[in-house]
Amino acid sequence: MKMLFEWGHKTLIISPEKMGEIMTLVMQSAEEVYEHKKNWSTKEESHHVYPVNAGDFGVQEIRVLSDELYALGKLRGKPEE
């Protein structure tokens, strides 16, 4: 079993152990939250920075890649453009 991690426009494959380390590091290291709000009808924008609390992390999307799909993808390799 592998875990899928979104980074930019790529989906990276990570071991479950490393995924746990990443999540722990982020939750322990985050100092503040930044939010950019835009009201699309008025075009008004606002920027907000505030302290992190446990509720700010919410539920993270963690996707699992089965061993069978991993093996299939490994056989196909990098797609041609």
- Expressed in angstroms, the distance from the first to the final Cα of the chain is 28
Residue 78 DSSP symbol: S
pTM over 0.85: no
- Asked if the model's pLDDT at residue 59 lies above 70, the reply is no
Please report whether residue 81 resides in a domain.
no
Please report whether residue 10 resides in a domain.
yes
Supply the DSSP string of 50-80, one letter for each residue: EE--GGGT-PPP-EEE-HHHHHHHHHH-SPP
- Asked if the model's pLDDT at residue 54 lies above 90, the reply is no
Please report whether residue 62 resides in a domain.
yes
Q: What is the mean pLDDT of residues 59-81?
A: 87
Please report whether residue 35 resides in a domain.
yes
Domain that holds residue 58: 2-76
Please report whether residue 31 resides in a domain.
yes
Predicted pLDDT of residue 13: 93
Structurally, the chain folds into a number of domains equal to 1
